[in-house]
Structure 1
């Protein structure tokens, strides 16, 4: 039996128990989930607190949650006026600018929707997956329910030509892009995804709907550019599950797992929390402090060159490195991150330090322009297993 086959057997043994041993599952997941048999998909659902440890309750839990999500869709994606109470005395119409007008809210939401639409079309430009048609489009679209408006038609039919006023925290505040984001921008500017027939949906449209529903249900946070990069790998993992039943409900399952993950990451996306302990500025300071502790020579050089973490680590920490490596490597890295999430993704800090220290010779011999290019465009073909091993070693020696 190969090591890989043994790992599969260990996961399957855990999943045969009525009560899943979370501690053992985290140990296995930290060392990498097999890509076969939907093991990663199932493991992530458990680690992201969507599936209960008691498997005997899964059927009722999933049925309830998926029905609830369908209700969210009907409540949030509907034409103005159709969701209002019949007893309401308010006369509403598209030109009504009153704050309580459903049409005023509708037009405001179009700004958010257009930003989401722009971002989801950029997902994983090197893969055709998100352009392809899903086998499980939204039932409301297929059934053409009265009052239900597909987001595709909403975007096409709107006569409003607006640009989102919510400045990107990833490229608006910092004008640095990775190779992937540059490719994405080029593709987005020069080509559009193929428009499918009515009743059909591409995977990117499913992701768009999830993010729009999420933004409406979390109005205090809303949608921020970069969330598309967080949800993409989750949806891809669930939508490619070899188990048809799991694959059929990838949309709802992704919504809940993304929502759970955002409870850990939301401070990164909200400027009001930048200076909090788990805000992005605080996280970057923790990264610097750890780097200084691990490799003071590299730290001193970067400090001398005034190469601030805002120029490279901002994106690393905010997007969980989803733009630095190819998708299969991102999935493997996230196995370890999710297994370590109870510590608010402390392993992410060690991983980032490992990325820097593994390039220490090149950094110590490089000038500012060479080093900023290296860190902003980290070699994507780097063996990520070496980085994970180095990060685990650093954590054992320099535990925060």
Structure 2
């Protein structure tokens, strides 16, 4: 029997127009970007599967006719597409990603932590209370810009303050490319207000600290209460960790939703272009400075300082720009140093092994 490979390829290659039912793989987010990386021959022995959950002991993967847990691997994260080799799982190939969210892992060992892959839209969630932090929101937006993911800022718990618009106005000043939406995480507002981004076959993620309503929003989109939630602490408005791992949830008739644990720390690395996009206004002002190497401090003819003095630019934004640029440069340099040392160590190991093999051959 001839197998029908048409369902694995872009919608435009099928007959009958675009108003058709999505295939099982397309419901999981399968797109032309991934189909173009494989051949029909590869599909015979290595079916594409998507990582929907990461455990310490393995990766939960789902495909057209696959639903199982495979051994973990350091180069794969939730959202990844893998060509699964049932005969030798470690040989399975991770397909090239459309996007990748990552950060410097907490600690001092200069490692990269993969957060999620192949996300179209990131909903950056913050509450209209003590959790609201403009610098933290800027970090999330910069990471999204670097990964070429569309950021949307969601402000929840607006019923807790008398003037939620003040929070919305402050968030809107972060970037013209990051829409701001104020909503109640409970009820029907998430479905209606987020519908433009939550189309069938699309993958969205909720990012933010604990207790801001990420799991509540995910439940609202799915129309269930399958994801556990907890109330914030009343004394300081801080949230409790409810979600303990990153997991993709397939919304019936809609998108895939990634719920993530709250991140206390989001250290930027390899995100220089994301920072540049985030602070596009400062880059435009810098182009008008008298000196090309202007540090925007006390130099004459500094367009940035002139904008601050005239009230067109908040001086605190300049300070946050400097801090993020310095942090990103330090972390990226530290990572490059770590990679260089790992590469040198690998070469040394190979030399030792080769020398040992040569000695063994001479003694035989």
- TM beyond 0.5: no
Higher helix share goes to which structure? 1
Which of the five TM-score ranges fits, normalised by the shorter chain? under 0.3
TM-score by length of 2: 0.24
Larger RCO (CA within 8 A; separation ≥ 6): 1
- Greater strand content: 2
Computing the radius of gyration from Cα coordinates, the structure with the larger value is: 2
